[in-house]
Every structure is written in C-alpha cells, then in structure tokens.
Amino acid sequence: MKTIVLPGFSPSNRDWAYEIKEKISSKEIFVHEWRHWEADLKSLALMTELENIKKEIGDSKVNIIAKSVGTRVCVNLLLDQEINIDKIILCGIPLRGFGKKTKDLFIGVLKTIPNNRIVCFQNENDPWGKYILVDKFMKGINTKIKVYKMNRSDHHYPYYKDFEKFLNK
C-alpha cells in the first residue's frame, strides 16, 4: 500500500517529509513536493496540488501522513469519493490559521471517517494550534478520534515510530 506525505507549507518541511520516508519501513512512501517550493510562489495553489496528488496516488489504496497545511490539503482530498484512503495521520493542525470555512470543511469531512482510521498528533504548545484547542476541536467532530498530546512547544512532528505503529495496526 502506498503512503503519501503531505508536508507543511514552508520548504523546511521537506526535510521532515523525507525523514518519514527514510524512517518508516513501508516500501511505498511518496513525498508530495509543493509546487511553490520550486516556483518561488507565495501561496499554495490548492486545485493544482490536488490534481498532482491524485496523479501520484493513481488507483492505489493509500495512507496519508499530513502536517500543518498538509492537513487542510488532506481534508480537501477526502472530498473526492474516488480516492481510496485507508489510514490518515494528521499532525500539527494549524487552528490558528483556520477561518470558519476551513473549520466547517474539517468538520464536514472528518465526521465521515471511521475513528479507527484516523489519528492526530498535536504538540502541547504548538504555536499554530495548542493541543488543548485541537483536542477540543477534534472531539467536537468525533469524540472517538484519538488526539495524542506530544510534549513539545514547536511545530515539528518527529514521531516516526508512532506513525508506523498506527499504519501497521
């Protein structure tokens, strides 16, 4: 089964994504490289990225590991009923950057995902979304979605063994 990594917005997230590819033993891990990383663009072209991701996935059943803006792209990807998703790992949900429209999108989409196929890792004091706020938000969607509180105060998510454990359940 394929696993695709949808990193955060900044080019510095490239290293994190490739560390996942290196440290998780699955053979088919693909890192999605945002177009704006190379094209010197200031924003993410959501529709273009979604089309590129769909091409990368093809007809395969896929797991998704998403961080920060990657979580938003992931939720938009889940709107496509033709995508065959197995498990979803969300990291560093950036609630601080969400407007009502994005929050409503998360709620509408994630409530349709069985709770045993989705997990969230959130750093306790992530500057983009503190654990307590993300946990409350996710529990408002589905009280059974597991949100792990990680003991960090940054926006970095190096929890490769935890990711692999969830994917291998």
List, for residues 13-62, the tens digit of each pLDDT value.
999 999 999 998 777 899 999 887 877 667 788 899 999 999 989 888 99
The pTM of the full predicted model, rounded to 2 decimals, is 0.94
- Which pLDDT belongs to residue 45? 85
Say whether pLDDT at 148 is over 90.
yes
Q: Please give the pLDDT value at position 41.
A: 63
pLDDT confidence of residue 130: 97
In b/e form, how buried is each residue of 63-95, taking b as 16+ CB within 10 angstroms?
bbbbbbbbbbbbbbbbeeeebebebbbbbbbbb
Collapse the DSSP code of 79 into the 3-class scheme (helix H, G, I; strand E, B; otherwise coil) and give the result.
Answer: coil
CATH 1.10.3720.10 correct for 2-167 = no
Sequence ranges of the domains in the chain: 2-167
Query: Phi then psi for 83, rounded to 5 degrees?
Result: -75, 130
Q: Which residues contact 16 (CB under 8 A, 6 or more apart)?
A: 7, 8, 67, 156, 157, 158
Q: pLDDT digit string (tens) for 63-114?
A: 999 999 999 999 999 998 788 999 999 999 999 888 899 999 999 999 999 9
pLDDT of residue 27: 72
- Whether residue 12 is predicted with pLDDT greater than 70 in this model: the reply is yes
